Structure 1
């Protein structure tokens, strides 16, 4: 269609974000500083948690979460961590990189999140944690998952990188686990260019995160930290290291933009949900397509589409048609991750059959959702899908 283009994501920056960047440039203070602290404070307040630690990406937030749980002694080498078979690569990499064992469990065909029944059956004496993923904005069934964790004495970790602003029974996703992670990458619910955040209510874990984020040094720890007693000599504490950390600090520019973007998040989520009301209703009326079943209040990162009935096995044709009509398309995250060649490097186990993950891998894709109301363009996409 002439002049029609439907991109994966939209640009949500305005004049205020540019002014925030210029303010940082004028200050000549570019690395992690006061703007980062302000953004972290506002982020924690917004989501109702005690502590937030900003890093340079959502992937780094996952790395920070796993590193923190290992260095604090809550997880140890060889412990089994249950994960859903469908997610982004950097949900899994930190688990492998810290010598933990991945156990992959199938997803629910409708919600696209971990299959709770399979999850419960997959638990063994070696299982120490569950790393759930709120896929494409959709909350997990947290009542049941929290109950399982309590009964079995398991740690709950939450990858919420695709689901900022989603809620389950009035509580924000990303705040159900011991640590939750968020992403502020360009295409996500708020954009700081690159960026991520890890949140927790546990002060000790928070202090570990402060150290691990910046080289494993003590400089950023408060004087009353429970994980390390600082020397009186400030010079000594400038380059003093207590854990093998990383350099995953954010830039002040990213934090400054984040402060402005966070103020807009409510309207962004409102608009995404309005777009979803239209799109999901129309897709559910069509015979050969299905989409994600919402649990709680999804923040609708994008619109997953699963081909069924007469269109099963015909994804290449559908994707080609959509591209011909200037509609950007992506796989449903990484599909069944165990089918990627990188899996050969990892210590992992597959529980049962990954039937639904396989089906999504071969018959699923998603188109973007936007932070502005976009019903008119979605009408065009629905008509294109109808006419294929």
Structure 2
């Protein structure tokens, strides 16, 4: 009997031990030793100089935009396919999101489309390493340098992914991570801002603590935010970070299983990687040629569910969501093709080798495809 999980967190004795230590210490809120320790270890893992923890990946993205001075009248380029949390912080700042299409094979923001979308109002690009797969960061950084604009990496799904030997989230000007319950590691909620720019990170650290000048008691020199991570969350993060290597090994193994079983099946394709990139494989995902197999993506998803296999649709192109329809320009043909034919497959590290094999073979069975 299979008990297949899509993206459930993997929690165990190590997490319990750290949480108990945190509770016994009495430091359960935002002041205490676990938060700075988690930030230190996270920076060490990324090989980046500075990290500051926050309450969510959304908060991380917002603080990055805020720190870089993104404001009303500015434009920020984003991919049409991503989670809405990539885009909402742009609007929080009063800026305008400019949506561009993605590459049909990697599913990531297309540098050629970025170049077409740049105007004198463009102040930043947010490349999203979709489902853990690194973007073409060399080209994106080259475009940014030529046009004097910032790059904020949305690495919320790609912890542990590499691009030419560097961790995603450390290549742009600022990197943002999420520790939501379904991410590579979790703190229950929470996020992280990473950068080699000490001034930016120090100021963000100040701002997320209500911009409080600690030397003068309750004295606040700017409008701040209550975006601090708690020690309870950080203690969980330390435990998860100690298990990260094992999580990444499993997720990459799952992707290889799917890749091997789907090899040679022209009706099914997986995300491809740019040269020099190594995905975290947070969510192994497939694009199915629904016309060729004679089924809709809904029918395929429903049949998988009937057989005990949970899946998730690819993110709806943001330009179709009610708050963002007014920003729609162009056809976004690749984004729609991926959305209309794509599924996230079970990738939780709670799954076994046999679970993943069963998923892949069941999908072939549902599509009436025999291994060629």
With the shorter chain as reference, the TM-score category is over 0.9
Equivalent-residue separation in structure 1 for 2:239 and 2:298 (angstroms): 40
Partners of 2:324 and 2:96 in 1: how far apart?
Answer: 12
* Deviation string, structure 1 residues 247-299 (Cα, Å, up to 9, x no partner): 11111011112112112212221221122112123224223222211231000
Residue 324 (structure 2) aligns with: 343
Looking at structure 1, the residues matched to 115 and 294 of structure 2 have their Cα atoms a distance apart, in angstroms, of 30
Cα distance in 1 for partners of 2:197, 2:174 equals: 8
Superposition pairs for residues 112-261 of structure 1, below 5 Å? Answer: 112-219=107-214, 234=215, 237-261=216-240
C-alpha deviation, 1:368, in angstroms = 2.7
Greater alpha carbon shift after TM alignment, 282-291 vs 132-141: 282-291
Residues 81, 100 of structure 1: 8 Å contact kept:
yes
Mind listing any 5+ residue stretches in structure 2 that lack a counterpart?
367-372
Q: How far apart are the structure 2 equivalents of 1:143 and 1:303?
A: 24
SS at match of 1:163: coil
Q: Please list every run of at least 4 consecutive aligned residues from structure 1 whose deviation after the TM superposition is greater than 6 angstroms.
A: none
Which runs of no fewer than 5 residues in structure 1 stay unpaired? 220-233
CA distance in 2, matches of 1:313, 1:366: 17
The alpha carbon displacement at 1:371 in A equals 3.0
Write the distance in 1 (CA, Å) between the matches of 2:175 and 2:221: 24
Q: Which residue of 1 aligns with 2:19?
A: 21
2:346/2:356 contact within 8 Å kept: no
CA separation of 1:159/1:312 partners in 2, compared to 1, >3 Å: closer, same or farther? Answer: farther
Q: Look up the match of 2:369.
A: none
Aligned-residue CA RMSD (Å): 1.7
Residues 169-221 of structure 1: CA deviation (Å, up to 9, x unaligned): 110001111110111111111121111111111111112211221222233xx
Residue 324 of structure 1 pairs with residue 299 of structure 2: no
Deviates more, 1:258-267 or 1:82-91: 258-267
Aligned length: 362
Shift of 1:312: 6.8
> What CA distance in whole angstroms lies between the structure 2 residues aligned with 1:211 and 1:312?
56
- TM-score w.r.t. the length of structure 2 is 0.93
Question: Residue 362 of structure 2 corresponds to which residue in structure 1?
Answer: 384
**Contact 1:191-1:261 at 8 Å conserved across structures:** yes
